[in-house]
Structure 1
């Protein structure tokens, strides 16, 4: 049980590291010679943090929507008909196509028909397995079903762990990276205010001493 817990913990850490590298690449867009994403530089000020950059982008989009009618129309269209911006399902026949257009789509796959027919013909030449071998495979079917069920349960557990790891990583990124950067920026601003106040006090004191 301990070994399984260690294995799950190790796999979770690997997933977190992979997600962190992916986020790092999205932020920096650069990698070293081995392909590992480089760590993004610390923001020079509070205005250079990710949250402030996203805020500026949102404000710029609002400004464009007010000044450019085309942008405003696109945003309104997205709000009213969001399905238009989703890719169509490749397995669904599009509506509104004429029979000629549908025929052209079908005829574009005519080269695959002979190949499929030859493969179906070759299936007739395959030898039929012996009866005892088929019976052995049939007897193994319950085990296969149990293995498939176990695999499905493991896939569901892994999916849940991925979701939880993504939430943990998001929380750590928001609090640990973005939050600490904003905190340092705020402290730096406070220190600058204190330095200005100290300098102002020193200047006033020097002037009083010269007057005396």
Structure 2
């Protein structure tokens, strides 16, 4: 291994150790007298591990989202607009600003007021969608749900076919390639043994003929 590869490997190990220490501190929250993070305690059972607890929480959240539409809507809203769930930090008005300075700040946004008012007024002019169209769209929802279910089943079937294909390829590689190679190696070894035996007997026969 070159010096550069050894340096890269050493740096990678140091980074992994630093991340492991950081994770240990996040899990335990304590350190020993040297400042090193405390080692997390071993869970009492397999169900108490972090991965199992996270998986259990995800299953419960998924079950709750299926049972309560409001929860599903909130999760979808969080996925699309995560900033809505993190309100901005309130900013206090700086002290010491003169009324003239405050007026200039307000007047700098004066052009936005008519535009906002115009947009709000235009909402009243928008036509309300026809109830028949909305009803027809709602009536299509069961069909869309069935199509989504069919698509999910097809995706599962394709995934299963991929797994089976991978297993067949693995079996063909183990039996067709590796097995054939081992068989040819065995035959070659046996042929070499037969050739040695034939040469040995020819040498013995030549010696016997020379003696006669």
Q: Which category of TM-score, normalised to the shorter sequence, fits these structures? A: 0.3 to 0.5
Bigger Rg over Cα: 2
TM (normalized to structure 2)? 0.43
Which structure would you say has the larger RCO, counting Cα contacts within 8 Å and 6 or more residues apart?
1
TM (normalized to structure 1)? 0.43
